[in-house]
Amino acid sequence: MGVRIFVNDEPRQVAEATSVATLLVELGLNPRHVAVERNRELVPRQQHQNCLLVAEDRLEFVTLVGGG
C-alpha cells in the first residue's frame, strides 16, 4: 500500500523503502539542481540512493532561484 510522506509540505504516497534518489526520478527533478532535506537534516547527494523513506518523513526539495 505504501507509506505517506510529505514533500515540501504536500502529502504524498510512496512505495515502502523508496529511496530519495527514486523519488527524485518519480518527480521528474534534475538531481543536479536539487538539494534534499529529510526531517530538517541535509541528505548529501552521495546518500540519495541509500536513504530510504519511512512513514511521516518530511522532505524539502529545494533549488536555486533568482535572488539578491
Task: Please give the torsion angle defined by the CA atoms of residues 42, 53, 62 and 47, in that order, rounded to the nearest 10 degrees.
Answer: 50
Is the separation of the CB atoms in 41 and 20 below 8 Å? no
Stretch that binds another protein, among 13-21, 50-58, 60-68 (CB under 8 A): 60-68
Between CA 38 and CA 20 the distance in angstroms is 9
x/- map, 9-48, another protein, by CB under 8 A: -x----------------xxxxxxxxxxx--x-x-xx---
Query: Rule CB under 8 A: which residues touch another protein?
Result: 7-8, 10, 27-37, 40, 42, 44-45, 60-68
